[in-house]
Chain A
Amino acid sequence: MYRTALVLGMALLVSSAAPSAAQERVERGYSATSDVVLRIFNMAGSTRITAWDHDSVRVTGTVAAGGRFFGGGDRRMAKLGVEDPAGRQPPGVLEIQVPRRARVWVKSASADVALSGVAGEVEVMSVTGTIRLDGAPRVATLESIEGDVTVMGAATVLRVRTGGGSVRIDEVRGDVSVVTVAGSIAIVSPEVLSARLETASGAVTFRSGVGPDGRLEVDTHDGTVDLILPSSIDGRFDLSTVKGKLTVGLPGYRPKAGQDRSATFATGKRSAAGGGIAVTVRTFSGQVRIGSNPGATGGI
């Protein structure tokens, strides 16, 4: 009896120890140029990329059983990530430090991706994983079909595309383009240079100024559109909804008869002369509401 119990106990110990023994711990370091090009592959789990002020790349983390870490390249260009010869997607949990000016490309399926402080170029492609970007890269292209995308910081050029994933952008200053299918789009910033926001059925909320002579273009099928603009905005507006309703609450705006579905008007002196900000909203059946934020003066 004791002997049976002992054998069973040992078997349990061995079986419980087996997964951790199969898990690979990763700790690597690579010498790199300050603007190294990195291609990172991690399909499941999570990838966290942080910029630091060293000309090197450091990777720590774990790779689940069945997968293995790979990495290679030279100081100017390197490729690393998790691979699985059997074609599955074993989760990897990777923490990667990269030079601040690095150009980083990340491929994910369900892995969540977070980037912080990278000032170079960033491109992330995912299917269901979330993407979070903090910092001010020159160019950021973020794509996830179903994962939510969150951006905090002053990217110069920001391109975001999702399907059902929602997009939240705070404090961005540059040129912004967001395309979703059903995901909502929310932008809150003092001022963006220009913005193009497009969705089929997601709701659009834009609470920001727009740079002098910039453009704000919004296009939805049935997604609602809420624009909260500076009360002193100097802009030319071209708004239309085929089956929705148009509500404009800008100071000085007086709706004319028949302008509940489309309206073209200008506010401010520069706009009256053909300059100013160009605001275009097109929607098939979405509701459009344009209001003002008396406290903001951005873009004017």
Chain B
Amino acid sequence: MTCSEVHDCLEAYLDRSLDRAQRAGVDAHLTTCADCRAACETASWLRQRTAALPRQVAPSRDLWDGIAPRLARRQRRYAIPLSGLVAAALLLVASSATITLWLTRSSSPAVSAFASTEAGYLSATLELTELYARARETMTPETRAVLERNLEVIERALGEARAALRSDPADRALEAIVATAYRRKIEFLERATLLDRDG
């Protein structure tokens, strides 16, 4: 199998949904190709991290009794629990990593260079999101709310910039904007995780 073929069936490989012959082909390729082996390990690692996240965080019962009827009427417009934020970040990382891997293999050198840069940002974002998830456990509800309101703004800006870059992958100005959006997110997450420091 070629690298491209392995990449195309990597998700199915990790899902264990390939037939015996295909699986043997991927296994054989992975024993000889360090790049694909690294890609496979990264994808597998991301899957484990995502799977380890809680599916939902149940609020305490007294709160939930008041909130549930209103949610039913409102179609959940704003409520984004932390698990949602972290899961969204990880899903973004996972999907972006896949896109990044694909770009680095199939696109022009310039696009690949940015994909590599983006992979670095994604890795930092993932680590900081995990640190933030731990730090928020000791924060007051007000502090959490304030931080997550800001993270939503940052996430929206990043999403818009990335969508624009996907439409026009060769646009250098858009690359700079996406890089800035990642940096903004990383810096904010750093601040959020260090809020409890005593200097």
Complex CA–CA separation, A80 to B4 (angstroms): 63
Q: How many A-B residue pairs lie within 8 Å, measured between CB atoms?
A: 80
Q: Pick from A123, A201, A282: contact of B157, CB below 8 A.
A: A201
Query: Is A184 in the interface zone, CB < 8 Å from B?
Result: no
In the complex, residue of chain B having the shortest beta-carbon distance to the beta carbon of A143: B191
| Residue B181 CB within 8 A of the other chain | yes
Query: B155: nearest residue on chain A (CB-CB)?
Result: A200
A262 and B142 CA atoms in complex are apart in Å by: 41
Q: Which listed residue (A127, A198, A282, A284) contacts B146, Cβ 8 A? A: A127
List B6-58 residues whose CB lies under 8 Å from chain A. Answer: none
Q: Which residue of B has the minimal Cβ distance to A261?
A: B173
Are B198 and A107 in contact, with the CB atoms below 8 A? yes
- Cα of A228 to Cα of B195 in the assembled complex, Å: 35
If the complex has contacts A164-B150, A181-B184, A221-B181, are A128 and B142 also in contact, measured as CB distance less than 8 A?
yes
The answer, yes or no, to whether A242 is at the interface (CB within 8 Å) is yes
For B198, the chain A residues whose CB sits under 8 A away are: 39, 41, 107
What is the CB-to-nearest-CB distance from A144 to chain B, in angstroms, rounded to a whole number?
10
Of residues 144 to 161 in B, which have CB atoms within 8 Å of A's CB atoms? 146-147, 149-150, 153-154, 157, 160-161
Interface size on B, as a range, is 20 to 34
- Asked whether, in the complex, the Cβ of A107 is within 8 Å of the Cβ of B150, the reply is no
CA distance A201 to B156 in the complex (A): 10
Residue-wise interface mask of B (165-195) relative to A, using a CB-CB cutoff of 8 A (1 in contact, 0 not): 0000000011011001100100110010001
19 further A-B contacts with Cβ under 8 Å, apart from A179-B184, A221-B161, A284-B164, are A39-B199, A41-B198, A105-B199, A107-B198, A109-B140, A110-B142, A123-B199, A127-B146, A128-B142, A145-B195, A146-B146, A161-B191, A163-B146, A164-B149, A164-B150, A200-B154, A222-B160, A243-B164, A285-B160
Identify the A interface with B (CB < 8 A).
Answer: 39, 41, 89, 105, 107, 109-110, 123, 125, 127-128, 143, 145-146, 161, 163-164, 179, 181-182, 198, 200-201, 219, 221-222, 240, 242-243, 262, 282, 284-285
Q: Which 8 residue pairs are nearest across A and B when measured between Cβ atoms?
A: A163-B150, A221-B157, A181-B150, A200-B157, A146-B146, A182-B153, A284-B177, A181-B153
Q: List 24 A-B contacts (CB under 8 A).
A: A39-B199, A89-B140, A105-B199, A110-B142, A128-B142, A128-B143, A145-B150, A145-B191, A145-B195, A146-B146, A161-B191, A163-B147, A164-B150, A181-B150, A181-B153, A182-B153, A200-B157, A200-B181, A221-B161, A222-B157, A242-B173, A242-B174, A282-B173, A284-B157
